[in-house]
């Protein structure tokens, strides 16, 4: 997964932690798991599409950016493995969106289960 995704998850969990710490009453919010999953999947799908389009139209600059993010000194190591085709883009978008939806849905479901235990 990308660094952006991990930063986004850190932001979500820190926001939830702040709400839990500073909420004066013991009744805390319930997260709607499906909506939370759809929001996460939509965000990830948008970012994946933007990166795929950037890789398609600006391959050298995008590969340099990817190599910098992953701390790779040379691009020659990854260039042969990256094939930007419409099938690869669509497959990546669909598979990652489903995986991210499931992860966010599961996170919200676990959070709601802990909220029920706390009452």
60: in domain: yes
Average pLDDT over residues 20-39: 72
Residue 116's pLDDT is: 73
The pTM of this model reads 0.65
50: in domain: yes
102: in domain: yes
The tens digit of pLDDT for each residue in 59-106 reads 888 877 777 777 777 777 767 777 778 888 888 889 989 999 999 999
The DSSP letter of residue 81 is: G
Tokens 């939370």, residue located: 36
Structural domain that includes position 102: 7-118
Q: What is the dihedral of CA 9, 95, 59, 56, to 10 degrees?
A: -120
90: in domain: yes
62: in domain: yes
Q: 79: helix, coil or strand? A: helix
């Amino acid at each position: 997964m990308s660094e952006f995704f991990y930063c986004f998850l850190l932001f979500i969990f820190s926001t939830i932690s702040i709400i839990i710490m500073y909420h004066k009453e013991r009744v805390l919010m319930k997260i709607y798991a499906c909506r939370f999953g759809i929001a996460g999947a939509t965000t990830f799908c948008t970012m994946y599409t933007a990166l795929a389009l950037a890789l398609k139209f600006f391959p050298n600059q995008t590969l340099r950016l990817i190599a910098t993010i992953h701390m790779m000194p040379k691009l020659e190591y990854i260039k042969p493995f990256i094939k930007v085709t419409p099938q690869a883009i669509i497959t990546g978008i669909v598979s990652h969106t489903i995986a991210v939806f499931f992860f966010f849905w599961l996170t919200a479901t676990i959070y709601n289960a802990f909220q029920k235990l706390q009452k």
